[in-house]
Amino acid sequence: MKNLVIVVLLVVVAIAAYSYVNQPKENVDAVVVEEAVVATTEGSTTVTEETVATETEEVSMITPADMSEEAQAEMYNHIMEYNKCMMQNRLEYHQQGVRVENVADKTLTTCEPHLDALKATLVTNNVNEGLREGMVKTMRQRAARKLMSTIMQSRAGQAAAAANIAPGPVPLPVTP
């Protein structure tokens, strides 16, 4: 019974801690006090007016799907150009004696301006910053993974071909 009470108490404390840590941040309201002197026929009186101003940061909620058709076409064009650029140096990976690291670095460096153009298009159309950065990061990571996969397949194929060519022991003829 005591164990059950302790477990329930721990669960309640954990829930309270979780809700405390994850509660939304409160916006602090700034109070601006404005004083104006108003002249009347009987004399001057001071009128105090309090204005409450809230400071909120504007966050763009625009997604690539919300962009105009022309902007979407431009975005897809940048993506296609980037993918096409990543495919251009594929034959160099299959050549003997080529340092694969140098070719991969050359490919990634050559194709980076396409991602910069994509990012510029998204900035121009006021796409949410998180979506914009995530899209470019995802494209870069996906291309790097695909590039590494291509390189590894090429090297494995070269190693298998070299193993098949290597002379081995000649089997003796079997006589009955």
Summarised one tens digit per residue, pLDDT across range 110-144 is 899 999 999 999 999 988 888 889 999 999 999 88
d(CA 29, CA 143): 46
Whether residue 37 is contained in a domain is answered as no
Whether residue 137 is contained in a domain is answered as yes
Whether residue 43 is contained in a domain is answered as no
Q: What is the mean pLDDT of the chain?
A: 75
d(CA 21, CA 113): 41
Whether residue 46 is contained in a domain is answered as no
Whether residue 118 is contained in a domain is answered as yes
Q: What pLDDT was estimated at residue 65? A: 85
- The answer, yes or no, to whether residue 41 has pLDDT greater than 70, is no
The residue range of the domain holding 124 is: 64-87+100-162
d(CA 51, CA 26): 19
Whether residue 26 is contained in a domain is answered as no
Q: What is the DSSP string of 98-139?
A: --HHHHHHHHHHHHHHHHHHHHHHHHHTTB-HHHHHHHHHHH
Please give the tally of structural domains in the chain: 1
Mean pLDDT of 53-74: 77
Whether residue 155 is contained in a domain is answered as yes
pTM over 0.85: no
- pLDDT over 90, % of the chain: 20
Whether residue 142 is contained in a domain is answered as yes
Q: Which residue has the higher pLDDT, 89 or 40?
A: 89
